[in-house]
Amino acid sequence: MLRNGLEPWHLLIVAIVAIALFGSKKLPDTARALGKSMRILKSEAKAMKETDVSPGTDPRT
């Protein structure tokens, strides 16, 4: 039943549903906001990683 997993026509259906739900004018703004949120999340995760490793300790041990 789900042998092939996600096929290209599945993505097409998802895109059509997204356009129908949100409208073509809101999609670029939504994508832009999502990208900005992902950049913020990535920078915060990187900052947390850097603060977890204290100077003078070896993170490999």
* pTM, full prediction: 0.50
**What pLDDT was estimated at residue 6?**
73
**What pLDDT was estimated at residue 56?**
59
Portion of the chain with pLDDT greater than 90, in percent: 30
Asked if residue 58 belongs to a domain, the reply is: no
Task: Please give the C-alpha separations between residue 61 and each of 21, 28, 53, 57, 58, in angstroms, as whole numbers.
Answer: 51, 46, 12, 9, 6
Rounded to an integer, the average pLDDT of 45-49 is: 90
Query: Which residue range is the domain that position 33 belongs to?
Result: 23-50
Rounded to an integer, the average pLDDT of 3-15 is: 81
Q: Which residue has the tokens 């703004």?
A: 29
Looking only at Cα atoms, what is the longest distance across the chain? 56
30-39 pLDDT per residue, tens: 889 999 999 9
**What pLDDT was estimated at residue 61?**
54
The two tokens of residue 44 are 């915060």
DSSP per-residue letters across 4-36: S-S-HHHHHHHHHHHHHHH-TTHHHHHHHHHHH
Asked if residue 44 belongs to a domain, the reply is: yes
Domain count for the chain, please give it.
1
